[in-house]
Each structure stands twice: as C-alpha cells, then as structure tokens.
Amino acid sequence: MRKKLALTIYVVVFYAIWTVRTILFSDLFSDINPITAQILKEIIKTLIWFVPAWILIGKYNDSMFVKKENIFGLKIPWLKLLPVIAVFSVFILINSYRTNGKIAINESFGVHSIIIVLFVGVTEETVFRGWLLNSTYTEKNQYLSIGINAVMFLLIHFPIWSVKGVLLANIVSGGFIQIILLSVIFSYSFIKTKNLLVPIILHMYWDLLAFML
C-alpha cells in the first residue's frame, strides 16, 4: 500500500515538474556555450529523473522485480541484442532515405548530440524500466504493466513535442506508435535479461542513429 502511494505521488510530481521545466524553461542556458549548456541541462535532468528514481528503487528494494544490487548486471547477451540492433539500424536507415532522399550524416550532429545520447539512456531507462516497471511488474500482470509503462513513456514526450510544435502532427500521423513500440522493446528486454544495462544500450543506440541520420 505504501509503495502504491509512493508510486502515485512520484508520478504526479515527476510529470508536473518535467512539464513545467520543459515548457517554461526550454531555453535555459541559451546564452552560453552550446556544449556547456547541454551538459548543464543533462545534469538537471539527472537530478529530476535519475536521483529520485534510484532512491526509490533502494527504498522499496524488497518488492522490486529486480533487486537494486543486481540491476546493473555485467553479463550482457550481445548475441541476443544483435537482431534488435539490426532492426533499429534498417528502420532508421530506410526512414532517413525516405525523408531526405539519401543517407547522410546530419549536419547538426555533434558533441552536444553525443552528450544527450550518453545521458538519455541512463536517465529515462532508470525511471521507466528501473523504477516504474520494476516496481509494478509481476508475471500475472506482465502485459498490463508493459502497456501502462508504454503509455507513460509516450506521455512524457508530450511536453517537448508541444514546445517543438509537433504534438498534433505526431498524433495524427501515428508517429506516437513508434514511441510505444520502443517502450515495449525496452521493457521486454529488461524483463527477459533482468539487466537494466540492456535497455540502456538499446535506447542509446536508437538515439545515436536517430541523431546521426
């Protein structure tokens, strides 16, 4: 009961804080060096995303699907990841070609993109797989847990889509389905391997290709 209350309070506060931060302070640090600005933004995101989630994982460790001490396993099933990595690669390459008529490195790709990639996999997977899914998942409700987690992962993208003016476009075009499918893949990989590093690696790889192409 206490964990359910903690989950409810966390979700409300987390979404509220991140929505306010994204909509009202999206231009934060815009007057300083872009790389320094991006590092500062990621530090703030780490404080909002990673730190509270990591504390809660420890607090409710006894009822977690994967215990905190085992969540970052060193054994990564690389061979099992290769098909997923291959699918990610083909999808993004085809999508890049369809959009631009060619496959080429994005001109805006640079150090700031690498910084985002390095942070985003850790922060987002710690919250959505390491904490939210990990604290609610059981074999009896596995599909419900993965489904709810996917919807929540989608909703956290709404503030930035709103700021960029692409919220309606992503909904009408069905682009939001991509986010849901990615969430399901990340969740499934975490459940099967019981290793948070696996969805973190997959998430980083997806974002790296997306930024690069």
Q: What is the pLDDT of residues 155-193, one digit of tens each?
A: 999 999 999 999 999 999 999 999 999 999 999 999 999
Mean pLDDT, range 198-211, rounded to an integer: 97
Q: Band of the pLDDT at 104, cuts 50, 70, 90? A: confident
In the block, tokens 């919807």 appear at 151
Total domains, the chain: 1
207 with 86: CB under 8 angstroms? no
Q: How would residue 206 be classed by pLDDT, with cut points 50, 70 and 90?
A: very high
Here the tokens at position 67 are 């215990």
CB atoms closer than 10 angstroms to residue 98: 8
Distance CA 147, CA 102 (A): 35
| Domain limits for position 153 | 2-212
